[in-house]
A and B are shown apart, each in its own frame.
Chain A
Amino acid sequence: MGRLKTFTRRAFLVGSAAVAGGVAFGIYTVRKPHENPLADSLAPGEAALTPYLRLDARGVTLITPRADMGQGAYHVQAALLAEELDLDLAEVRTDPGPPGAAYWNTALAEEAAEFSVPSEGLMRTVAETAVGAVMKMMGMQITGGSTTVPDQFDKLRAAAASARETLKAAAAHQTGVAADKLRTENGQVLLPDGNALPYAALIPALAEVEVVQDVPPRDPAQWRQLGQPMQRIDILAKSTGTQVYGIDVEVDGMVHAAVKLNPAQGGEMRGFDASVAEKMRGVQAVLPVAGGVAVVADNTWRAFQAAQAIEVQWGPAEMPATMADHWQALAGAFTEDARDSRQRDDGDVDTALEAAEVIEAEYRAPYLAHAPLEPISAVVRVRDGKAEVWTGTQVPRFVQKNVAAIAGIATEDVTLHVQMMGGSFGHRLEDEVVKRAAEIAVQMPGVPIKLTYSREEDMTHDFPRQIAMARLRGTVDAGQVAAMDLSIASPSVMVSQMGRQGISVPGPDSQIVAGAWNAPFAIPHHRVTGYRAAPLAPISSWRSVGASHAGFFHNAALDELIHAAGADPLAERLRLCNDPLARHVLEAVGEMSSWEGVLGDGRGRGVALTTSFGVRCAEVVEVRATDDGIRLEKVWVAAEVGRVLDPVNFENLVQGGVIFALGHAIHSEITYRDGRAEQSNYDGYPAMRLYQTPEIAVRGLENGDRVRGIGEPPVPPAAPALAGAIFAATGTRLREMPFAKFVDFV
């Protein structure tokens, strides 16, 4: 009983009801220390302090479980480590490390729990623990949800602080000087006599001492580097063409593959004639893969050319034939049977709607491709019961599992080398390209296969952002917003995405109403209901996920009611705002933009506020109506992130998020005809270009007590703020994206 008692007490510290709620064994199982994935890969002479860093003769290497798709994940993690370890940031190496269950994403679990149990306190803790336990059991080593910073902030600093004190203990053991007389500086332990021991020189002594546990990370007031502008650790390589991305990987003996997949998304391949392709220069093989055909050649271009020359018989896609049918499926989902969630139900909405004139409107958000500039690729080699994979991915454990299944080998026999990614925006949460490459590789044992999707194959086989529709019914009274009943219908992105990994996602889908149900406004009668439409096109997480549509719907709907009330969009939001952190960001953009209501002279401003991934983010957009169309003039952004770790990278990510969001809101949509995406490259799927880019002023607020990630939160408020600005400038109310279908832009 002694051991169980110990466990129970520990579990109590983090959430006793999780035990009483019947998940005690699961919690016990997952709370067992996970196998340290570095233990197997350590060479003699190396010592592993924690799974987050490695010290060897070359110095300190960050073992980063979170992937870098451009957001600077490696950089900011290295900076966290360097700060606690007293290292020069430029000296820290990075290594994505092997996939490992110990790297499960705590912050993502907390985000998932927030929806099911929105209140603070015990029940919240229970829910976090239960959801977290499930994710930990699945080894959810995922980069997503803007969680890298919140998830790694404590873990990495704790690991590095522990490493630092352990190095001092080792130095004390080696020199006989008491540890509390030692200091660390610039990668060395300093002795009182002025001598210095480089960390690497202490490797042998590390074996002689216990790891120093529970070292509190430094007070931010003592930080030397964090919070100050830094040079990103990858900036030199990325400015000189020397950064190696997944698409650049070269392996000895490697051949180049291309695929021709069923243009009807998800449809089968029923047969093919490769007689022309097989005779083309450089072609080595034509092989079937799931949903299509692959060509293996000695050059990527030759593989692309040959793939186009194959005649294939295709099966149909399982989705409605026209976009009108897709929209009709959403319109038909506003039923009691399809009701998925109602996490917001303040006051008495039904009575309020009967008592006054009802304002009604309908909103739409289209399918959107991720379309990062680096097309997806993977190198896979299968031989002798083992597989090796080189690819840029946000889901290393899924990649490992799926390649193992295709190769018919054990998961631990798949070695994955995670590569730097040329963008993602959620695209690399999917691993279809790796599966196709593995299917080719098992047919050519021993040969490293590099599969590169052409831009066209990539875009037409993307699993896009969900399509969504909303309906507003609301009332105003005496110059104020009185009632807002917002209904949102969408297929479940979580079910679609996790379903491809064989994981069922029970319960309501928070993403249908993300950024709407939690809007921090005390509207007297306020209801947000999510409706789950049946699956249509297969969909996946797109930068900011559900908040990308629901944040638009809620803000746009609120704007209509504020206008009907005759109130000012910012003043009425401030009056209704019941969240101090959100109020601060609204006040900040008001001050930054010198908000003064109506501008006149063809100019207009809009404002929006969304809370996503825990970040309150407000934006003001200013436009001018010109003879050539709407011109974007300026954007002001304020976001509450607890702490800004690198102000330059922060500003870059926020500006980029705004540009990404505005570009899509104005220009972009994926449409399907008979299951075939009608846009296949950047000509049909335009994005914002430099000439359209407004000036964007950014302010990070640090009032909150938790550090937050900034990759996604700037996205949701941009589209509604733009729509509000266009209304103010022209009187045209935009309720459907992309806006360029309805108004001209310069």
Chain B
Amino acid sequence: MRLTVDGVAHEVDVEADMPLLWVLRDELKIKGVKYGCGIAQCGACTVHLDGAAVRSCQVWAEDAEGAEITTIQGLGQPEALHAVQAAWIEHQVAQCGYCQSGQIMQAAALLAEDPAPSDAVIDEVMSGNLCRCGTYPRIRAAIHSAAARLREA
């Protein structure tokens, strides 16, 4: 099976129904994608499939074939940050940081759709992403900040 992840094509030999999450983590060793619940309750495994935010624990490997898969590590790198990542740093969002890959991917997808989301929209779109440390006030502020960065860019 052929998967394109962060712009790189990979050949993987996995079951058709292996969740994309585990293909990414265990087969391709892309560890920025996190396992939290396995049932789409936490959002830690969020990646982009052709630009749309999806829970990679719910996507079968065969359904990701042919799609452009983007992970947190393809969104931006430490030396070339995406605007959302830069805003996450500006607001010092992370505590344990484990959910933040998923939060950032969800926020990036939101901003690609809606460049100036209201608090109500942010609440609605981001409430599928769980943060046990409770960094939500900073997530909200960072999304507004990232939106401003993207508009200026």
Q: Is the CB of B44 within 8 A of A652?
A: no
Within 8 A of A (CB), among B49-100: 71-73, 76-78, 81, 85, 88-89, 92-100
Contacts A70-B97, A373-B130 given; indicate if A693 touches B89 (C-beta within 8 A).
Answer: no
Contact code string B124-153 (vs A, CB < 8 Å = 1, else 0): 101111111111111110000000000000
Q: In the assembled complex, which residues on chain B have CB atoms less than 8 Å from the CB atom of A422?
A: 34, 96-99
Q: Is A687 an interface residue (CB 8 A)?
A: yes
Please pick, from A72, A240, A250, A655, the residue contacting B76 in the complex, using a CB distance under 8 A: A240
Q: Is A25 an interface residue (CB 8 A)?
A: no
Contacts A234-B97, A240-B73 given; indicate if A690 touches B123 (C-beta within 8 A).
Answer: yes
Q: Is the CB of B133 within 8 A of A242?
A: no
Q: Is the CB of B78 within 8 A of A236?
A: yes
Q: Is the CB of B19 within 8 A of A301?
A: yes
Closest Cβ of chain B to A391, distance in Å, is: 15
Q: In the assembled complex, which residues on chain A have CB atoms less than 8 Å from the CB atom of B135?
A: 652, 655-656
Q: In the assembled complex, which residues on chain B have CB atoms less than 8 Å from the CB atom of A656?
A: 95, 133-135
**Which of A115-123, A150-158, A213-221, A657-665 interfaces with chain B?**
A657-665
Q: Is B112 an interface residue (CB 8 A)?
A: no
Q: In the assembled complex, which residues on chain A have CB atoms less than 8 Å from the CB atom of B18?
A: 299, 301-302
Q: Is A744 an interface residue (CB 8 A)?
A: no
Q: Is the CB of B132 within 8 A of A648?
A: no
Q: Is the CB of B134 within 8 A of A688?
A: yes
Contact code string B2-44 (vs A, CB < 8 Å = 1, else 0): 0000000000000100110110011101011111111101101
Q: Is the CB of A690 within 8 A of B78?
A: no
Q: Is B116 an interface residue (CB 8 A)?
A: no
Q: Is A371 an interface residue (CB 8 A)?
A: yes
Q: Is A681 an interface residue (CB 8 A)?
A: yes
Q: Is the CB of A373 within 8 A of B89?
A: no
Contacts A373-B132, A687-B132, A689-B130 given; indicate if A234 touches B94 (C-beta within 8 A).
Answer: yes
Closest Cβ of chain A to B83, distance in Å, is: 12
Q: Is A247 an interface residue (CB 8 A)?
A: yes
Within 8 A of B (CB), among A194-251: 231-232, 234-245, 247-248, 250
Q: In the assembled complex, which residues on chain B have CB atoms less than 8 Å from the CB atom of A242?
A: 32, 73, 78
Complex Cα distance A655/B141, Å?
14
Q: In the assembled complex, which residues on chain A have CB atoms less than 8 Å from the CB atom of B35?
A: 247, 300, 375, 452
Q: In the assembled complex, which residues on chain A have CB atoms less than 8 Å from the CB atom of B93?
A: 239, 652
Q: In the assembled complex, which residues on chain A have CB atoms less than 8 Å from the CB atom of B73?
A: 240-242
Q: Is the CB of A681 within 8 A of B37?
A: yes
Q: Is A455 an interface residue (CB 8 A)?
A: yes
Within 8 A of B (CB), among A622-655: 648-649, 652-653, 655
Q: In the assembled complex, which residues on chain A have CB atoms less than 8 Å from the CB atom of B27?
A: 299
- Of the candidates A232, A238, A281, the one having the most CB atoms from chain B within 10 angstroms of its own CB is A238
Q: In the assembled complex, which residues on chain B have CB atoms less than 8 Å from the CB atom of A234?
A: 94, 97
Contacts A236-B89, A240-B77 given; indicate if A248 touches B134 (C-beta within 8 A).
Answer: no
Q: Is B122 an interface residue (CB 8 A)?
A: yes
Contact code string A2-34 (vs B, CB < 8 Å = 1, else 0): 000000000000000000000000000000000
Within 8 A of B (CB), among A675-690: 681-683, 687-690
Q: In the assembled complex, which residues on chain B have CB atoms less than 8 Å from the CB atom of A248?
A: 31
Contacts A301-B22, A688-B134 given; indicate if A682 touches B41 (C-beta within 8 A).
Answer: yes
Q: In the assembled complex, which residues on chain B have CB atoms less than 8 Å from the CB atom of A455?
A: 36-39
Q: Is the CB of B122 within 8 A of A690?
A: yes
Please pick, from B31, B37, B129, B137, the residue contacting A244 in the complex, using a CB distance under 8 A: B31
Q: Is the CB of A681 within 8 A of B39?
A: yes
Contacts A72-B95, A681-B39, A690-B139 given; indicate if A237 touches B78 (C-beta within 8 A).
Answer: yes
Closest Cβ of chain B to A21, distance in Å, is: 43
Q: Is the CB of B92 within 8 A of A648?
A: yes
Closest Cβ of chain A to B125, distance in Å, is: 9
Q: Is the CB of A281 within 8 A of B81?
A: no
Q: Which residue in chain B gives the minimum CB-CB distance to A658?
A: B134
Q: Is the CB of B37 within 8 A of A652?
A: no
Within 8 A of B (CB), among A393-442: 421-425
Q: Is the CB of A239 within 8 A of B32?
A: no
Complex Cα distance A440/B86, Å?
42
Q: Which residue in chain B gives the minimum CB-CB distance to A392?
A: B96
Closest Cβ of chain B to A435, distance in Å, is: 22
Contact code string A457-474 (vs B, CB < 8 Å = 1, else 0): 000000000000000000
Q: Is the CB of A235 within 8 A of B92?
A: yes
Q: Is the CB of B96 within 8 A of A239?
A: no
Please pick, from B29, B96, B136, the residue contacting A423 in the complex, using a CB distance under 8 A: B96
Complex Cα distance A655/B139, Å?
12
Complex Cα distance A649/B136, Å?
14
Contacts A681-B39, A693-B136 given; indicate if A240 touches B44 (C-beta within 8 A).
Answer: no
Q: Is A69 an interface residue (CB 8 A)?
A: yes
Q: Is the CB of B124 within 8 A of A691?
A: yes
Contacts A691-B127, A693-B136 given; indicate if A372 touches B92 (C-beta within 8 A).
Answer: no
Q: Could you give 6 example pairs across A and B, Cβ below 8 Å?
A: A234-B94, A235-B89, A235-B92, A238-B94, A689-B128, A689-B130
Report which B residues bind A (CB closer than 8 A).
15, 18-19, 21-22, 25-27, 29, 31-39, 41-42, 44, 71-73, 76-78, 81, 85, 88-89, 92-101, 104, 122-124, 126-140
Other 7 A-B pairs with CB < 8 A, given A250-B29, A256-B26: A69-B96, A241-B31, A374-B36, A422-B96, A690-B123, A690-B139, A695-B137
6 A-B pairs with the lowest CB-CB distances in the bound complex, closest first: A241-B32, A70-B96, A422-B98, A659-B134, A238-B97, A241-B72
Report which A residues bind B (CB closer than 8 A).
69-72, 231-232, 234-245, 247-248, 250, 256, 281, 299-302, 304, 371-375, 421-425, 452, 454-455, 648-649, 652-653, 655-660, 663, 681-683, 687-691, 693, 695-696
